[in-house]
């Protein structure tokens, strides 16, 4: 935390967010190399909505109530200094096996090859136990040494006690595979909760 003269806390605020392009691989990403913070998780978990919440712009990343909306890697240039990266979701059951394999290669290729990626936020719907597909994905992040944090979405859908209990269960599931827990955040694109914590976390890296 940094302080100005009069002890006013300097907070990360997003003053400018600009769509910087779509790509399917690292070679085709925006030419300007800057720190990247990316969002991944099951299809429909709320990745694009969260990016819009952080940027205070509901129209920036396209959202949809039907899964499989984001099919490309989208870069958003923030404050002319860093990128938020919206990735396609994984594990969309209704997509063909071929389509799912293609997305998986796109996602895993990108996160293992992007030298600018600082942290990958893995989004998990707070209403359900963290799934095998998420745990397997996180396991591979560990194998590949990719820094990540877990971000629970749609927290407006649970009361405080139910949310706490669910997170405790997820921690136990994670501890079956991991010695230590990663950083964790709760959020709601609906009521705006978690926004400040997530931005403050990002701020320390830039
Ligand atoms: P794909 O791009 O298809 O992988 O989905 P996504 O993860 O980007 O999800 P998206 O942001 O498009 O949101 C999916 C649906 O969940 C939309 O109907 C959103 O309105 C809803 N949603 C997202 N975040 C929240 C939230 O925090 N609370 C509630 N109640 N609904 C949310
Ligand atoms: Mg999306």
Instruction: Please state, in angstroms and as integers, the Cα–Cα distance from residue 142 to each residue in 85, 112, 146, following that order.
Output: 20, 11, 6
Confidence of residue 93 (pLDDT cuts 50, 70, 90): confident
The 8-class DSSP code of residue 160 comes to H
Residue 108 pLDDT > 60, yes or no? yes
Confidence of residue 9 (pLDDT cuts 50, 70, 90): low
pLDDT digits (tens, 9 = 90+) for 161-204: 999 999 999 999 999 999 999 999 999 999 999 999 999 999 99
35 ligand 1 Cβ < 6 A: no
Quick one: pLDDT at residue 80? 96
Domains defined for the chain, CATH in brackets: 17-203 (3.40.50.300)
Q: Which residues of 3-40 are buried (b: 16+ CB within 10 A; e: fewer)?
A: eeeeeeeeebebeebeebeebbebeebbeeebebbbbb
Helix %, strand %, coil % of the chain (to 5): 35, 20, 45
193 ligand 1 Cβ < 6 A: no
Residue 1 pLDDT > 80, yes or no? no
Confidence of residue 23 (pLDDT cuts 50, 70, 90): very high
Percent of the chain with pLDDT over 70: 95
- List of E strands, 95-143: 117-125
Cα 147 to middle of ligand 1, angstroms = 24
Closest ligand (CA of 126): 1
186 ligand 1 Cβ < 6 A: no
Mean pLDDT computed over every residue of the chain = 92
> End-to-end alpha-carbon separation of the chain, Å?
13
Quick one: pLDDT at residue 142? 94
Spatial distance between the Cα atoms of 77 and 114, rounded to a whole number of angstroms = 16
Confidence of residue 5 (pLDDT cuts 50, 70, 90): low
Spatial distance between the Cα atoms of 146 and 154, rounded to a whole number of angstroms = 25
Residue 125 pLDDT > 80, yes or no? yes
Quick one: pLDDT at residue 10? 56
Cα 49 to middle of ligand 1, angstroms = 5
Q: Which residues of 141-176 are buried (b: 16+ CB within 10 A; e: fewer)?
A: beeeebebbbbbbbbeebeeeebeebbeebeebbee
Cα 179 to middle of ligand 2, angstroms = 31
As a whole number, mean pLDDT of residues 94-114 equals 91
Find all residues with CB under 8 Å of 166, minimum gap 6, and list them: 126, 127, 129, 152, 158
Please tell me whether residue 72 adopts helix, strand or coil conformation. coil
Quick one: pLDDT at residue 163? 97
As a whole number, mean pLDDT of residues 77-104 equals 90
- Whether 153 and 124 have beta carbons less than 8 Å apart is answered as yes
């Amino acid at each position: 935390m940094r302080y100005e003269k009069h002890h006013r806390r300097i907070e990360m605020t997003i003053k400018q967010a600009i769509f910087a392009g779509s790509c399917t691989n690292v070679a085709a990403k925006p030419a300007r190399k800057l720190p990247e913070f990316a969002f991944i998780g099951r299809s429909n978990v709320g990745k694009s909505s969260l990016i819009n919440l952080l940027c205070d712009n509901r129209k920036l990343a396209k959202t949809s109530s039907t899964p499989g909306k984001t099919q490309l890697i989208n870069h958003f240039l923030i404050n002319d200094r860093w990128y938020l990266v919206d990735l396609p979701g994984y594990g969309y059951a209704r997509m063909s096996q071929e389509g799912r394999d293609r997305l998986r290669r796109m996602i895993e290729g990108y996160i293992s090859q992007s030298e600018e990626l600082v942290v990958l936020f893995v989004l998990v719907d707070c209403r359900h136990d963290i799934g095998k597909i998420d745990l397997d994905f996180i396991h591979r992040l560990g194998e590949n040494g990719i820094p990540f944090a877990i971000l629970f979405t749609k927290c407006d859908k649970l009361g405080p006690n139910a949310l706490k209990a669910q997170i405790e269960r997820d921690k136990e599931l994670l501890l079956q595979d991991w010695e230590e827990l990663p950083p964790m955040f709760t959020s709601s694109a609906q009521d705006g909760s978690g926004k400040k914590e997530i931005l403050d976390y990002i701020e320390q890296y830039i």
